[in-house]
Amino acid sequence: MTLIEESARIVSIKGSTVQAKGLSSYRMGEITYVGEERLIGEVIAIVHDTATVQVYEPLEGLRINDPLYPTGKSLSAELGPGLLSNIFDGIQRPLDNIKNISGSGFIERGIQTNALDRQQKWVFEPRKELKKGEIIKEGDVLGKVKETESITSSVLIPPGKSGELVEIMEKGEYTVSDTVAVYKNKSGSKAELTMMHEWPVRIARPYLNKLPVSGPLITGQRIVDMFFPISKGGTAAIPGGFGTGKTVLQHQLSKWSDANVVIYIGCGERGNEMTDVLREFPKLIDPHTNNPLMDRTLLIANVSNMPVAAREASIYMGITMAEYYRDQGYNVLLTADSTSRWAEALREISGQLEEMPVESGYPAYLGARLANFYERAGQVVALGSPYREGSINITAAVSPPGGDFSEPVTANTKRFVKTFWGLDPALANRKHFPSINWQNSYSGYIEEIEEWALETGLMDWGRYRQEMLKILQKDNELEHIVELIGSKALPADEQLIILIADIIKEGFLQQNAFHPIDTFCSIEKQMKMMNLILLFHERANILIKNGCPISLINSLRTVQILKMMKEEIRNEDLTQLNKIEDHIIFDMEELGSKYGYK
Amino acid sequence: MARITVKGVAEIRGPLIIIEGISGIQMGEYLEVRLNEQSTRKGRVLAIEEEKVIILLYQGTYEIEKDEIETEFFGRTMQLFVSEDMIGRTFNSLGEPLDGLPAIYSDEFRDVNGAPINPTSRIYPRNYIETGISSIDLMNTLVRGQKIPIFTGAGLPNNQLIGQIIKQARIAEEIEGEKFAIVFGAMGLTMDDYIYFQRLFKETGTLDKVVMFTNLASDSAAEGLLTPKVALTTAEYLAFDCDYHVLAILSDITNYCQALREVSVALETVPARKGFPGYMYSDLASIYERSGIMEGSKGSVTLIANLTMPNDDITHPVPDLTGYITEGQIILDRSLHNRSIYPPIDVLESLSRLMKDGIGEGSTREDHPSLSNQLYSAYAEGLDKRKLAEVIGRKELNRRDQIFLDFADKFEEIMVNQGDVHRTMEDSLDKGWKLLTLLPKVELTKVSESEMTKYCPEEED
């Protein structure tokens, strides 16, 4: 068999793919080295004796008749300690290693390097309950490794493996390729286990069963947490034209959400943005663990001018690593920026295969591939013992051409995600950030989160949310009238709606990602802020009914205070918010003494 | 690598030729076809299918004789000789001199396609380049290592603006011996504009800091596909090998994209939007992403890409895809131009995403961030009032609204409409403060008390 394969030769080269003849035993998805430089490629189509290989590196310099070297393996991710706080390219090569090997700041071709460092030693601590002779099953925890200050990794029995434990090593320092356990499989032969294993990225890792989603992913972003929340294990899309703040929002979610592990995929985006993350994250402290943010973060950078085939792979690489941490019982947030670039890579490769395009040149299977990806999110019970629940959230940016949400990638994405944060260029132009439009955005998790809110004692969450959305809806209707006849022609209670909506927009929905206090807002603060704004509305409404002119309410100092509390009051001293409450009551009662107040 | 020479071609199709029955040809290989004793044309292998080699000829296929023509393959990709001596020179898109001076010979040569910069080797952009134009320097600062396009429309004075930027651009550290150069790549440039730029460089004495690569409108469009590549290869060499701060200016990206479309159609690629190929995003990224700052070198590559929005449509694929890759945009506005305001930069629609990292204390001046914020919000408010005044009439505005409307007028008249003069960063900042005196002090919420006492001039009555 090997002999036949060795005679594999390139017969055609086009775009980012080559075609090869002379192999009879090729498998779809097989990793194949291409040319003397051994560029990494993957088989994506087979017609008779011709295989098409997409190559993850630039093809310049390849010739017809250059050899191919099949590996027998599928495109796989290495899973083990050492992934976190690292940055990889789309096929899991650590960018630091690439830099060291090439000795240049540019990414050269043909560099082969392991994802996990084979030299680094980790302290492996075996699970106490495990004894020689015990039956071990796939997904069982073999032991623990402290991967970073924030995350202790479980060493798992890889899916598909089970048998009788013959030997387990004692606590000590091992590399990821050292044997930490030996077991006898069903056929009676011995096999070794290490702290790492490989998993083919295009296949979802198995789990015991899926759980219904419950409880929110708390992001510290007010419009997300209060208006359009996402539950743990949920999916969300962030579509928006350029300049609407997709990337800043993605960064905010990665920084502040209460996930245990964050995987950030820079898929076909800007190089400087990745550098920004690399520069900033190590300096930031995770508000939930007080450890550096980088300790729980893993980056995949396949920037826009890196090879397009690797961009296609990067999404799968990311979700596989997410599943690995999910299986250990962690809540993982995967942010992909942007899935449109991934879809474009798919389109480009499909074009090279001369497949029949459907819409805007995209292949017919675009929807199926997207569904496949989003279905890998969710909350699950992991395989093996002890019992573990883990989850994966996906928040994916979409970059619709011309900001048109009816284009194929946005439209198909909408079919599979339950939360939709539509970014609005009109808001962005007004410097209203995050520019999530409250008219066309939605969350499919309201019921679950309402349940969670009641359990946690946030009794008013649902009511506050509805009241505020009602005010904003009414404000939107009034806006059209105001444009025509001016606000002065409206009755006083409607003018009050406009004022309150203004406070909500400026004081609550707008959130400054670059402000030290405002960048992260705790749930308690969010609830209290809503409470104060609605209290103000309620009291002002009574005054208006009693004939108090709107101009007096407009010019109250509390209006400014309500707008500024987001930046002035720290998450730690919420008692300050009670003082604002006193302010509101005082102001209102003063007016009330003139106009009657009950 | 051995060179291979073949005679005759099998097909000639648009800018492409197809040669059959040869082996040993590399993907992306550089080649020349010999028309006669004097002239050769340069090309690149775009795809190889079995024994069919598909070639793009940069100078077109006109007059190619099917059976007689000789093609020589060089066994390598296209390379450019690079040297500091290129500064002050003008070349065509193949790196051949257009100024009558001898060709560049150097020990150093580079593959024109470049390679992606490793994100871990990048240094995040900081500090700034002074363009001498207030709307940019003060309101949308150009940061070293940034890439930013100018979105213009047909008939707007973008060439004048580019000329002015080339003439005025500088870095503050030039006095301390830091090196600064401009690489200008022009695609589809009309002869008139070419003469305009050449004259401008000579008359203003700026030529000694400029390297120019030209693809004229009368040249083959496909040749324009090389212009950004050679320009950026030169820029990278000057920045990362010779420690220059390089401002690379490319114009007009729309012409480049038209050429890209022409070739992709000839290759029978499945089109995405408006006939442009699906890989246009990646292709544009391979140009724009070559800007940046790298570890281990003192220099930087900053990129300004000028492009004409067809029919002023910002959602057209060329500006749209560009906007997704670049770090902000400078937008020229037709209504400002019609009111004879030059440069007609729409300050509110324009955006420099990296500005916050490149300005303030230690770079421009401590008051810059809050001053530009204050000007921005006051001007935005003034424009809102202008809209209101269009509906209800200027006289119906209340006093506060009047003040803001007047401010917007003055802002355009004084700040935006600077004309063809160089304003230093200091000038621009001071003009900004002067404008703020038009507003009542209580309205100045974005600048601090101390900044106001330090920088704000006394009100003149």
CA distance to partner chain A, nearest, from residue B184 (Å): 22
Tokens 């946030």 appear where?
A458
Name the burial class of residue A1, with classes exposed (0-12), middle (13-18) and buried (19+) by CB atoms within 10 angstroms of its CB.
exposed
Instruction: For each of the domains in chain A, give its residue range(s) and CATH number, in order of start.
Output: 2-73 (2.40.30.20), 79-104+208-456 (3.40.50.300), 122-195 (2.40.50.100), 461-595 (1.10.1140.10)
Indicate the residue of A12, A107, A402 with minimum beta-carbon distance to B116. A107
pLDDT-derived band of residue A103, with 50, 70 and 90 as boundaries?
Answer: confident
- Interface contact B118-A98, CB threshold 8 A: yes
Angle between helices B368-392 and B399-410 (to 10 degrees): 120
Predicted confidence pLDDT, tens digits, chain B (461 residues): 578 999 999 999 889 999 998 888 999 999 999 988 888 899 999 999 888 999 999 988 888 888 888 999 999 989 999 999 999 999 999 999 999 999 998 999 999 989 999 999 999 998 999 999 999 999 999 999 999 999 999 999 999 999 999 999 999 887 788 999 999 999 999 999 999 999 999 998 888 999 999 999 998 888 999 999 999 999 999 999 999 999 999 999 999 999 999 999 988 888 888 899 988 999 999 999 999 999 999 999 999 999 999 999 999 999 999 999 999 999 999 999 999 999 999 999 999 999 988 999 989 999 999 999 999 999 999 998 898 888 888 888 888 889 999 999 999 999 999 999 999 999 999 999 999 999 998 888 888 889 999 998 875 54
Tell me what pLDDT residue A480 has: 84
The number of C-beta contacts closer than 8 angstroms across A and B is: 177
The Cα of B111 is separated from the nearest Cα of chain A by a number of Å equal to: 11
- Write out the two tokens for A220: 């510290």
For residue B288, the chain A residue with the least C-alpha distance is: A305
CATH, domain range B80-358: 3.40.50.12240
Q: Residue ranges of the alpha helices (H) in A328-431?
A: 339-352, 366-374, 408-416, 425-429
pLDDT at position A1 over 50? no
Taking CB atoms and an 8 Å cutoff, what residues of chain B touch A341? 281
ipTM above 0.85 for this complex = yes
Inter-chain residue contact B28 with A271, CB threshold 8 Å: no
Question: Considering only CA atoms, which of B137, B69, B147, B143 is closest in space to residue B421?
Answer: B137
Chain A residues whose CB is inside 8 A of the B328 CB are 243
Return the pLDDT at B50: 81
Instruction: Identify from B1, B113, B264, B270 which residue to disrupt to test chain A contact, counting A C-beta atoms within 10 A and taking the largest count.
Output: B270
Backbone angles phi, psi at B167, to 5 degrees: -65, -40
Q: Where are the domains of chain B?
A: 4-77, 80-358, 368-455
pLDDT average, residue stretch A494-512:
95
* Cβ contact A429–B349 (<8 Å): yes
Minimum distance, in Å, between the CA of residue B311 and any CA atom of chain A: 15
Higher-confidence residue of A354 and A183: namely A183
Sequence-distant (6+) residues with CB within 8 A of A454 are none
Residue B186's closest CA among B156, B210, B202?
A: B210
What is the tens place of the pLDDT at every residue in B34-72?
988 888 899 999 999 888 999 999 988 888 888 888 999
Contacts of residue A361 in chain B, CB cutoff 8 Å? 270-272, 278
Q: CA Rg, chain A, in Å?
A: 28
Q: Does the structure show a pLDDT above 70 at A2?
A: no
Find the residue in A nearest to B391 (Cα).
A484
B117 CA: distance to closest CA in chain A (Å): 4
Decide if A521 contacts A511 (C-beta within 8 A): yes
Q: Are strands A261-267 and A331-337 parallel, antiparallel or unpaired?
A: parallel
User: Is pLDDT of A39 > 70?
Assistant: yes
Interface contact A272-B124, CB threshold 8 A: yes
Q: Taking CA atoms, what residue in A is nearest to B78?
A: A60
Nearest beta carbon to residue B325 from set A63, A270, A348: A270
Residue B396: per-residue pLDDT? 80
pLDDT mean across residues, chain A: 92
Q: How many CB atoms lie within 10 A of CB B37?
A: 6
Which of A305, A431, A479 has the most B C-beta neighbours within 10 Å, making it the best mutation to test the interface with B? A305
Span A173-178, mean pLDDT?
Answer: 96
What pLDDT, on a 0 to 100 scale, did the predictor assign at position A58? Answer: 87
How far A379 CA sits from the closest chain B CA (Å)?
Answer: 33
**Taking residues A12-18, what's their average pLDDT?**
89
Res. A5: pLDDT tops 60:
no
Tokens standing for residue B273: 């939007």
Q: What is the pLDDT of residue B459?
A: 58
- CA A145 vs CA A167, A173, A329, B449: distances in Å: 18, 10, 14, 54
pLDDT value, residue B51: 80
pLDDT digits (tens, 9 = 90+) for B93-120: 999 999 999 999 899 999 998 999 999 9
Predicted confidence at residue A598, as pLDDT, reads 54
Contact flag A303-B119 (C-beta cutoff 8 Å): yes
Query: Bridge partners of B150?
Result: B306, B330
Question: What pLDDT score was predicted for residue B461?
Answer: 45
Residues in chain B within 8 Å Cβ distance of A425: none
pLDDT in tens, A413-441: 999 999 999 999 989 988 899 999 999 99
CB contact under 8 A, B282 and A304: yes
Cα distance from A394 to chain B (closest Cα, Å)?
A: 22
- Residue A572 touches partner B, C-beta closer than 8 Å: no
Q: What percent of chain A has pLDDT over 70?
A: 98
Tell me the one-letter amino acid at A63: R
With cut-offs at 50, 70 and 90, classify the pLDDT of residue A61. confident
Length of chain A in residues, anyone?
598
> Of A25-29, A259-263, B117-121, B358-362, which range is least confident?
A25-29
**Is the separation of the CB atoms in B58 and B38 below 8 Å?**
no
pLDDT value of position A24? 64
A3: confidence class by pLDDT, cuts 50, 70, 90: very low
DSSP A292: B
Fold classification of B4-77 (topology level): Thrombin, subunit H (2.40.10)
Q: Which residues, in sequence order, are bridge partners of residue B271?
A: B277
Residues of chain A contacting residue B117, judged by C-beta atoms under 8 Å apart: 105-107, 271
- Whether cis (ω within 30° of 0) applies to the bond prior to A338 is yes
* CB-based contact B57:B17 (threshold 8 Å): yes
